[in-house]
Amino acid sequence: MDPLFDSAFLRKLDRLTLLTRRAMAGEMQGERRSPRRGSSVEFADFRPYTVGDDIRQIDWNLYARMERFFLKLFVAEEELTIHLLLDNSASMDWGEPNKFDYARRLAGAFGYISLSSLDRATVAAFSSGSAQQLPGARGKRGAIPLFAFLQKLTPGGAGNLAATCHRYIQTARNTGPLILCSDLLDPNWENALRTLASRPFEITLLHILAPQEIDPQLDGDFRLVDSESGTPVEITADLDMLRRYRQNFDAWRGEVESFCNGRSINYLFVDTSIPVEDFVLAQMRKRGVLR
């Protein structure tokens, strides 16, 4: 089985960090700002001294001015849990380049960046109403089970995005940055995104579509079969039909983006014709997802 990435690309990922819009509380020592107070070198605030506090944290300069004891508080640094949700339903197994392979590599890149920052990464893949999950990896050593998990995944089956997202938020213990990789070819995509937004995750939607879906080059009569339901559709691909398709496609994309903007979900459209390396190193940094 071919590796997800070569060593040169991994070295470039080592220099990146996943950005968060606000401080979030984690569980263990890490490199992220936390809303809690801790023992880093970055000053946060003062509070009055109470019996039992560590006298080493008393600000003696402030005592000399006010003749009262105050403690210095510092920003805590903790790990975050990065949630990676990967759609592996049958509709993702299509296109050139293949949507699922592209999504798997994106999830791997995000996971590796998180592990390099001493954050924790969890991965959940879902189709046919079931989910496969890597509960959590931490540190660079966690990249080995992360990549192995992603490489073993296979696409197939009917997706139920809303039900999957509902189960996930019920079982996820910690919130944090959440990356959803999906083509959103599910009639209940609104419910799915609304469900994720009901908890304080920082959600980034990577809306992944193949160039053949974005701008189909067809001519003549075709019998199209839904890869998940098996429902056939007879079409005649002519200039008028392709024009109406592109109009509906653009309207759908705009609807998804508007829905996300109204719920503070970071929406990124992904065309699989763009190499994964270029998308991560250029587009993700340009959009403020990575630094």
Predicted confidence at residue 236, as pLDDT, reads 93
Token pair of 58, please?
A: 């008393």
| DSSP letter, residue 18 | B
Q: Pick the range with the lowest mean pLDDT from 4-18, 70-84, 196-210.
A: 70-84
| Nearest-angstrom CA–CA distance, 62 and 69 | 8
Q: Where are the domains of the chain?
A: 7-14+79-286, 30-78
CB atoms within 10 A of CB 241: 13
Q: What percent of the chain has pLDDT over 90?
A: 62
Residue 253, pLDDT above cutoff 80: yes
Token pair of 157, please?
A: 């089956």
User: 66-82 pLDDT, tens per residue?
Assistant: 888 887 766 544 568 99
In the structure, what pLDDT confidence band is assigned to residue 248 with cuts at 50, 70 and 90? very high
Q: What percent of the chain has pLDDT over 70?
A: 88
Taking the CA atoms of residue 99, residue 100, residue 105 and residue 111 in that order, the dihedral angle to the nearest 10 degrees is 120
- Beta strands (DSSP E) in the chain are 29-48, 70-78, 81-87, 120-127, 130-138, 177-182, 202-209, 220-225, 232-237, 266-271
What value does the mean pLDDT take over residues 16-23?
77
| C-beta of residue 58 within 8 angstroms of C-beta of residue 48 | no
3-state secondary structure (DSSP) of residue 255: helix
Q: Whole-prediction pTM value?
A: 0.81
Predicted confidence at residue 25, as pLDDT, reads 47
Q: What's the fold here for domain 7-14+79-286?
A: Rossmann fold (3.40.50)
Predicted confidence at residue 135, as pLDDT, reads 84
Token pair of 280, please?
A: 């991560």
Of 112 and 72, more confident: 112
